[in-house]
Amino acid sequence: MDHTQPKSERTTAVAPIPFDNSYARLPAHFLARVHPTPVAEPWLIKFNRPLAEELGLNADALERDGAQVFSGNSVPEGAEPLGMAYAGHQFGQFVPLLGDGRAILLGEVIDRNGVRRDIQLKGAGKTPYSRRGDGRAALGPVLREYIVSEAMHALGIPATRALAAVVTGEPVYRERVLPGAVFTRVAASHIRVGTFQFLAARGDTEGVKTLADYVIDRHYPQIKGQERPYLALLETVAERQAALIARWLGVGFIHGVMNTDNCAISGETIDFGPCAFLDAYDPAKVFSSIDQGGRYAYASQPAIGQWNLARLAETLLPLLDPEPSEAVNLANDVIAGYGPRFQTHWLAGMKAKIGLIGEEDGDLDLVQGLLRQMKEGQADFTLTFRRLADVAESDTAEHAFAATFSDPTALGPWLAEWRARLSREAQATPRERAQAMRLVNPAYIPRNHRIEQAIRAAEDDGDFSLFEALLSVLAKPYEEQPGFSAYAAPPAPAEEVFRTFCGT
Ligand code: AMP
Ligand code: MG
């Protein structure tokens, strides 16, 4: 561990946080106790007051002391800062020890709904897991994670949340010199598939059991006392991941680095470094500069979810059944069941997107027919569905809908089929149907070029107004916001983003 830099001291002078820590009570090898490394000149860029209130924190005091607390310069009383140990398959390659190399868990709080939540500083200095990294984060990735976390939440998709962002007043050295920043993240927990893999890879079956029991207690108490609780845990995680990834596909989200260490057991979207959203629909789309083989392409995400689930299952084998072959059979059944689970969630989501409630044999074909046309016509994913809601309300909207396709006349036959199918739907007036569709088809998503523009202005000019504007539009993604229609538009050719970077 690097002791060359001073570590922050505990102080009671700053805003108190009612910590109630449990991860710090787990066996010593699960974690490393480490204090944040103070920074030169912290300045609070953004504080999420509503989230602080939801967490039961003293928002006034935190707003006042935010620069100190959210930089890690002052560690509030009751915090037990630590880095979590984890392993992970990175692009398919197993790494037995990764761990929080630049993230420090301050502690946990119980929120207003009685849910235990982690408060973690990302970019707060080196930890014993930093390897060759500097333990720091650059401003750009911090703003990106802030925007996308809150946008996902507003879209109704489980994700870690953004509590605060601070600039450090110190440079970080990447390909270029960049302003340093610290991101404060809130999660139901930061336990990953890789956390289980870390213990399993050490042959620490007792540790795997301790972690599994902890996870059941914390996230899935309903399965406690079941005859096969660890099998139920695997099934529950399968269900959460299937549901989550179906939601991602429904808004055109590409995570970018679905390594097992970036796959949260809670079912929250986590660690979306080089994530991006589809503009034109293309199932093979990849943005991340480090994903050269396209392993984590848009349409590959469900299969990767299953692959990650299989890695979790491997760690649980000794707990599933004393008879190894029976344990493997049980695990295989869950892994095989993931496909149908995903398909059910995905189809339900896609049907809702095109305004269907009832069930007919041809529904899947109808959805796939539209997606085929979208791919051929390079139609903007978000606009297509949003405008289809307008068509559901009035035929006069058909022109604008068709204009999202390179050949506006190509959609005629599909629209005819869709209308015929709608005519067999129960009740719903055109207006009601359109409104239901607008509740599942966002007008606003965090478009890559908008994020890029917000980061550019902040990095180059210290101008956070675009960041603020974007956050405010994305807080109500399903509502038409007069005056902000430009935020619904795809990029102009010169604005298009082709590559995204982790920024680590
Ligand atoms: P990520 O790509 O952010 O999911 O990180 C993968 C692994 O690299 C994790 O173990 C991180 O803690 C570690 N890591 C990433 N960036 C840094 C950094 N700047 N300093 C130390 N460790 C890092
Ligand atoms: Mg990660």
Closest CA to 191 of 266, 82, 105: 266
Is residue 98 situated within a structural domain?
A: yes
Position 286 pLDDT exceeds 70: yes
Three-state secondary structure string covering 167-233: EEEEEEECCCEEEEEEEEEEECCCCEHHHHHHHHHCCCHHHHHHHHHHHHHHHCHHHCCCCCHHHHH
For a mutational test of ligand 1's pocket, the pick from 37, 98, 102, 260, i.e. the residue with the most ligand atoms closer than 8 A to its C-beta, is: 102
Is residue 14 situated within a structural domain?
A: no
Enumerate residues with CB within 5 Å of ligand 2 (an ion). 262, 271
Please check whether residue 181 is in contact with residue 166, taking contact to mean a CB–CB distance below 8 angstroms.
yes
DSSP run (H or E) holding 124: none
Is residue 4 situated within a structural domain?
A: no
Please check whether residue 17 is in contact with residue 76, taking contact to mean a CB–CB distance below 8 angstroms.
yes
For 479, the 3-state DSSP assignment is coil
Both 61 and 167 in one domain: the answer is: yes
* Phi, psi dihedrals of residue 167, rounded to the nearest 5°: -95, 150
> What is the average pLDDT across 273-302?
94
Instruction: Tell which atom from ligand 1 comes closest to the C-alpha of 504.
Output: 16
Q: What average pLDDT does the structure give for the chain?
A: 95
Beta strands in 211-363 (DSSP E): 253-254, 276-277
Please check whether residue 426 is in contact with residue 358, taking contact to mean a CB–CB distance below 8 angstroms.
yes
135 is in an annotated binding site: yes
pLDDT digits (tens, 9 = 90+) for 382-405: 999 999 999 999 999 999 999 999
* Phi/psi-derived region of residue 159, left when phi > 0, alpha when psi is between -120 and 50, beta in every other case: beta
CA 293 to centroid of ligand 2, rounded, Å: 19
Cα 60 to Cα 156: distance, rounded to the nearest angstrom: 27
Cα 3 to Cα 324: distance, rounded to the nearest angstrom: 45
Both 344 and 470 in one domain: the answer is: no
Is residue 125 situated within a structural domain?
A: yes
Output the pLDDT for position 292.
86
pLDDT digits (tens, 9 = 90+) for 173-222: 999 999 999 999 999 999 999 999 999 999 999 999 999 999 999 999 99
Output the pLDDT for position 428.
82
Both 334 and 425 in one domain: the answer is: no
Both 310 and 422 in one domain: the answer is: no
Catalytic residue among 65, 100, 118, 261: 261
- Model confidence at 381, pLDDT cuts 50, 70, 90, reads very high
- Asked which of 361-370, 423-432, 442-451 is least confident by mean pLDDT, the reply is 423-432
CA-nearest residue, atom 8 of ligand 1:
101
Q: Cα 296–473–439 angle (5° rounding)?
A: 75
Is residue 15 situated within a structural domain?
A: no
List 487's β-bridge partners, or say none: none
Q: Is 20 a catalytic residue?
A: no
Output the pLDDT for position 427.
75
CA end-to-end distance (rounded Å), the chain:
20
List 183's β-bridge partners, or say none: 122, 165
The last residue of a domain, from among 352, 383, 409: 352
504 within ligand 1 shell (Cβ under 6 A): yes
> What is the average pLDDT across 217-246?
97
Is residue 9 situated within a structural domain?
A: no
CA-nearest residue, atom 13 of ligand 1:
101
Both 90 and 104 in one domain: the answer is: yes
Closest CA to 70 of 166, 2, 172, 200: 166
Quote the percentage of the chain above a pLDDT of 70: 97
The last residue of a domain, from among 190, 217, 248: 190
Distances from the Cα of 44 to the Cα of 16, 70, 293, angstroms: 17, 8, 39
- Model confidence at 9, pLDDT cuts 50, 70, 90, reads low
76 within ligand 1 shell (Cβ under 6 A): no
Residue 216: which domain range?
194-352
Give me 157's structure tokens.
Answer: 């998709």
Cα 372 to Cα 376: distance, rounded to the nearest angstrom: 6
Quote the percentage of the chain above a pLDDT of 90: 92
Position 3 pLDDT exceeds 50: no
Q: Read off the DSSP letter of residue 312.
A: H
Is residue 18 situated within a structural domain?
A: no
502 within ligand 1 shell (Cβ under 6 A): yes
Both 139 and 220 in one domain: the answer is: no
CA-nearest residue, atom 15 of ligand 1:
504
98 within ligand 1 shell (Cβ under 6 A): yes
Q: Say which residue the tokens 């559901």 belong to.
A: 392
Instruction: Tell which atom from ligand 1 comes closest to the C-alpha of 99.
Output: 10
Position 136 pLDDT exceeds 60: yes
- Model confidence at 499, pLDDT cuts 50, 70, 90, reads confident
CA-nearest residue, atom 11 of ligand 1:
101
pLDDT digits (tens, 9 = 90+) for 105-126: 999 999 999 999 999 999 999 9
How many domains would you assign to the chain?
Answer: 3
Is residue 368 situated within a structural domain?
A: yes
- Model confidence at 2, pLDDT cuts 50, 70, 90, reads very low
Helix, strand, coil shares of the chain, percent, nearest 5, are 45, 15, 40
> What is the average pLDDT across 425-435?
91
Both 317 and 443 in one domain: the answer is: no
Task: Please provide the DSSP assignment of 54-118 as one string.
Answer: HTT--HHHHHHHHHHHTTTSEEETT---EEE---EEETTEEES----SSEEEEEEEE-TTS-EEE
Both 163 and 260 in one domain: the answer is: no
pLDDT digits (tens, 9 = 90+) for 329-376: 999 999 999 999 999 999 999 999 999 999 999 999 999 999 999 999
Both 288 and 419 in one domain: the answer is: no
Both 221 and 185 in one domain: the answer is: no
Q: Sign of torsion, CA 118 439 437 356?
A: positive
Output the pLDDT for position 10.
55
Cα 191 to Cα 23: distance, rounded to the nearest angstrom: 10
Task: Please provide the DSSP assignment of 409-453 as one string.
Answer: TTTHHHHHHHHHHHHTS-S--HHHHHHHHHTTS-S----HHHHHH
The last residue of a domain, from among 352, 380, 397: 352
- Model confidence at 503, pLDDT cuts 50, 70, 90, reads low
Position 273 pLDDT exceeds 90: no
Query: Considering the entire predicted model, what is its pTM?
Result: 0.96
- Model confidence at 8, pLDDT cuts 50, 70, 90, reads low
461 is in an annotated binding site: no
Please check whether residue 286 is in contact with residue 254, taking contact to mean a CB–CB distance below 8 angstroms.
yes
Both 175 and 198 in one domain: the answer is: no
Both 378 and 279 in one domain: the answer is: no
pLDDT digits (tens, 9 = 90+) for 138-161: 999 999 999 999 999 999 999 999
Cα 370 to Cα 366: distance, rounded to the nearest angstrom: 6
Position 26 pLDDT exceeds 90: yes
pLDDT digits (tens, 9 = 90+) for 43-72: 999 999 999 999 999 999 999 999 999 999
101 within ligand 1 shell (Cβ under 6 A): yes
CA-nearest residue, atom 14 of ligand 1:
101
Q: Sign of torsion, CA 268 328 91 83?
A: positive
